[in-house]
Structure 1
Amino acid sequence: MEYRQVGDSELTVSAITFGAWAAGGWMWGGTETKGAIEAIKASYDLGVTSIDTAPIYGQGASEELVGKAIKGIPRDKIQILTKYGMRWDLAKGDFAFKSQDNSGKPIDVYKYSAKDSIIKECEDSLRRLGTDYIDLYQIHWPDKTTPIDESMEAVVRLIEQGKVRQAGVSNYDAEQMQQAEAVVKLASNQVPFSMLNQAIKETVVPYCLEHKKGILAYSPMERGLLTGKIKPGHQFSAGDHRAGYRFFKEQNIVQADLLMEKIKPLADEKNATLGQLVVRWTIEQPGITAALVGARNAEQATQNAKAIAVKLSTDELAFIDQHIQQLELV
């Protein structure tokens, strides 16, 4: 495994980080607890020491799974990354969307990051995770109803109390990062980035490079689309959010499938899966500190972790980029 410093902070993470959204089941058509815990343990055995989760993932289920999976591992050998600012248990803040919990019960999700709410969320996360500190605490989404400085002041207090080691943001643009940085030193920004979605290259990547902030890339596999296993006409199970997600429109599935066909010979040459090639390409991109990759069983987790062994030359990276630039996405 490769380990990278997050910006100029004191935090180091594995370049392949375990993304625990799917492990929580929510919006992925349910979960299987045993498989999710085995996935996290298999990742750790292969050097994936960093785990990213959030309270909203399964409304606490993901954090609880992470807590069970890391039990017995020396705390200083892992890095726990979690978030705050999405509430399903009270109607305050900026309404985000309607959803269902894992039992099918309707829930309303709000972006809410007022100071008292953050303090409560942190205590709840610590309890679910079974730990006394969080390595990286990230606001999940911007909350237009709460001033950024108020949210960041809460994190400063948690850092002072020793409950949080480093402050991060997620889904922030460069201007929002600058506002947050006026209150607390940021380690990173967690943002979507994949072969199909490179919007962060416009302003976020330049800002992070200039100001020495880490970038944690989520959805590098574009929620499974870049594994080469999802073909045109694919049918998702009930409760799977991908059925209505932009990149799963039929034309985009066709385009992604064509891209996978073009780069498959390179994957074969490397004795790698398409997914492994995609992950390696992701962490080779300028400014990207780590790729957050999910798994729902030990086999998937093992395949993800072994992507670190794939090596890509400058010419090979250019070959991949050439085919990406030919995509016609809607």
Structure 2
Amino acid sequence: MEYKKLGESDLSVSAITFGAWAAGGWMWGSTDRKDAVEAIKASYDMGVTSIDTAPIYGQGTSEEIVGEAIRGISRDKVQVLTKFGMRWDLAKGDFAMHSKNNDGQGIDVYRYAGKESVIYECEQSLKRLGTDYIDLYQIHWPDTTTPIDESFEAVSRLIEQGKVRYAGVCNYSSTQMAEAEKSVPLVSNQIPFSMVNRSIEEETVPYCIRHKKSILAYSPLQRGLLTGKIHRGYTFQDGDHRASLPHFQPDFIEKTNALLDKIKPIAESKGVSLGQLVLRWTIERAGITIALAGARNAEQAIQNAKSIDVQLTAQEIETINKLVNSFI
């Protein structure tokens, strides 16, 4: 495994980081808790020491699973990344969505990062994770109802108390990042990036490179689309949010698979899967520090971790880049 420092901090994380959204079941058509725990443990055995989760993932389920999986591992050998700012138990802030929990019951989700809420969420996360500190604490989405300085003054207090090591953001623009930095130093921005979703390269990537902030790329496999296993007519489980997304409509699936067909010979020449090739390409991209990769079971987790072993020549990267750039 390869390890990289976040920003200018001394926090070193694995270049392939375990993304625990699907492990929580929410919006992914349920989950098998035992499989999810085993997936995280299998990742760790492969050198994946960093795990990214959030309270909203399964409304606490994902954090509990992460806590169970890391129990027994020396705490300084694993990095726990979690988030704040999405409440399903409090009707306050920006309304984000109506959804269903893992029991099929309706819930309303709000983006809220008021000072008291940030402090409360941190305490709840620490309990679920079974730890006394969080390595990277990230605001999940911007909350337009709360001043940015209020949210990050709360994070600064948590850092002073030793409950949080470093502060990060998710889905923030460069302007929002600059505002947050007035209250606390940021080390990273977690934001979506993939071969078929590269909009952050216009503004966010240049800003982060210039200001020495790390980018944690989430959905680098475009939620499974870039594995090449999804085709027109693919059947999603009940509760799987992907069915309604633009990237998973028949025309986009076909267009993506046409791109993958052109890249496939490179993967085959190395004896690796398309998913592994895509993950390796992602962390080779300028400005991208790590790739978050989710897994529902141990085998998926192991294959994700093995993507770090893929060696790409400069010519191969250039070939892939040209194909990706021609994707419209």
Same fold (TM over 0.5): yes
- Aligned AA (2:150): E
Match of 1:149 in 2: 149
1:118 aligns with 2:123: no
Match of 2:296 in 1: 296
**CA distance, structure 2, for counterparts of residue 178 and residue 83 of structure 1:** 19
Shift of 1:315: 1.0
Match of 1:182 in 2: 182
Shift of 1:326: 2.3
Deviations 1:134-161 (A, max 9, x none): 0000000000000000000000000000
1:51 aligns with 2:33: no
Match of 2:89 in 1: 89
CA RMSD of aligned residues (A): 0.6
Question: In structure 2, the residue corresponding to 1:128 is in which secondary structure?
Answer: helix
Shift of 1:318: 1.2
Q: How does 1:1-330 map to 2 (within 5 A)?
A: 1-328=1-328
- Aligned AA (1:42): A
- Aligned AA (2:78): I
Count residues in correspondence: 328
**CA distance, structure 2, for counterparts of residue 204 and residue 325 of structure 1:** 18
**CA distance, structure 1, for counterparts of residue 250 and residue 321 of structure 2:** 22
- Aligned AA (2:259): L
**CA distance, structure 1, for counterparts of residue 65 and residue 38 of structure 2:** 10
- Aligned AA (1:162): G
Question: In structure 2, the residue corresponding to 1:288 is in which secondary structure?
Answer: coil
**CA distance, structure 2, for counterparts of residue 255 and residue 326 of structure 1:** 11
Shift of 1:234: 1.1
Shift of 1:312: 0.8
Shift of 1:275: 0.3
- Aligned AA (1:305): A
**CA distance, structure 2, for counterparts of residue 201 and residue 276 of structure 1:** 22
Shift of 1:245: 1.1
**CA distance, structure 1, for counterparts of residue 316 and residue 232 of structure 2:** 27
- Aligned AA (2:4): R
Unmatched 5+ stretches in structure 1: none
Identical counterparts, % of pairs: 66
Deviations 1:282-327 (A, max 9, x none): 0001111100000010000000000000011111111111111222
Question: In structure 2, the residue corresponding to 1:275 is in which secondary structure?
Answer: helix
**CA distance, structure 1, for counterparts of residue 93 and residue 302 of structure 2:** 39
Q: Which piece of structure 1 moves more, 3-12 or 149-158?
A: 3-12
**CA distance, structure 2, for counterparts of residue 312 and residue 202 of structure 1:** 25
**CA distance, structure 2, for counterparts of residue 250 and residue 150 of structure 1:** 44
Question: In structure 1, the residue corresponding to 2:289 is in which secondary structure?
Answer: strand
- Aligned AA (2:103): S
**CA distance, structure 2, for counterparts of residue 251 and residue 182 of structure 1:** 44
Unmatched 5+ stretches in structure 2: none
> TM-score normalised to the size of structure 2?
0.99
